[in-house]
Structure 1
């Protein structure tokens, strides 16, 4: 029988992976982010109240870019105060601790300080960019629907969010 020169090439396709962990579900990541947001709001809303943010908004005055940038930076500082030690010691935020998930590198090791800075600089910094930051952040979050369940900030830092203790 003659060989068909128009036939698709045949090859055994296998995907090798050294992942020793189970990726966290999108729902666990979502609820961990919600917990982190609620904890942040408990601190930031009173600061915004005493800074007069709500008075201006109620009077129809839209906060300026500098005001928004200042509160964005205050938010980053509050995030670091609340979660910094947890992130460095276990790769978790308060929300991730409650939902038993953590951040690891591609080789299932705890992310070091530099990796965490890259990850959260992107995650927390992008929304602070005037005009386009919100759109980029939206795209960042939509990446969670990829097969690897990695947001764009995970890909930038080469990290995964995984279940703790195989759960």
Structure 2
């Protein structure tokens, strides 16, 4: 029978006899979103013994290399959307921080290096936190959500916060410091991986 994901319409031929009765939901290998199995699935009376629930379908992570990859330009647009959203939020919070710091310090002179350094460090920390939090949480920053692309591990697993930090902070630092070559690799790599993707062992896939 053909099982179709209701979210992304990805279809896969499966043998209903290999689906244990205990399995009520499966995970789409393309969009990674779980969905319920149809209530009525015909089964052969002489079918093989049920297998564990974790083996209901072929491992979804094995197909990660075959998923459609997000190219250079769609990732550029997602980055621009993120830059706009993060920039607006950063201006707001920086303004609040500046007012608070000014009140605590009893007024800050225009040439205060400590005050300027505080604002600079906050801006850097906010940018890192924005990208690491969203990427680690669900593999998608707001910009990627808009463009329907997602960061996953090359195994197909969710990226997680540790690997998100590796990709977004040291990985992207190296991609940028090498005259941006690490980012341009996306346009020429057969799997659309930038240097930061290779460092963190990730793909950016289309949903």
User: How does the TM-score come out when normalised to structure 1?
Assistant: 0.62
Mapped partners of 2:125, 2:182: distance in 1: 18
From 176, 191, 195, the equivalent of 1:152 is 195
How far does residue 106 in structure 1 lie from its aligned partner after superposition?
1.0
The within-5 A match list for 1:101-116 is 101-116=149-164
1:137 is displaced (CA, Å) by: 5.5
Bigger helix fraction: 1
Residues 63-93 of structure 1: CA deviation (Å, up to 9, x unaligned): x8x9579625533335525761x32332110
Say how many residue pairs are matched.
132
1:89 aligns with 2:137: yes
Q: How does 1:61-140 map to 2 (within 5 A)?
A: 67=116, 71=120, 74-81=123-130, 84=133, 86-123=134-171, 126=173, 135-136=177-178, 138-140=180-182
- Name the CA distance, whole Å, in 2 between partners of 1:77 and 1:33: 16
TM-score by length of 2: 0.51
Superposition RMSD in Å = 3.6
In structure 2, what is the Cα distance between the partners aligned to 1:136 and 1:69? Answer: 28
Pick 1 or 2: higher relative contact order, CA cutoff 8 A, min separation 6: 1
Partner of 2:4: none
Structure 1 unaligned runs (5+)?
A: 1-16, 52-63, 128-132
Give the distance between the partners of 1:134 and 1:161, measured in 2 at CA: 18
Question: 1:29: how far off?
Answer: 0.7
Instruction: Give 1 or 2 for the bigger CA radius of gyration.
Output: 2
Query: Normalized per residue, which structure has more strand?
Result: 2
User: Shift of the alpha carbon at 1:47?
Assistant: 5.6
Structure 2 unmatched runs, 5+? 1-62, 99-112
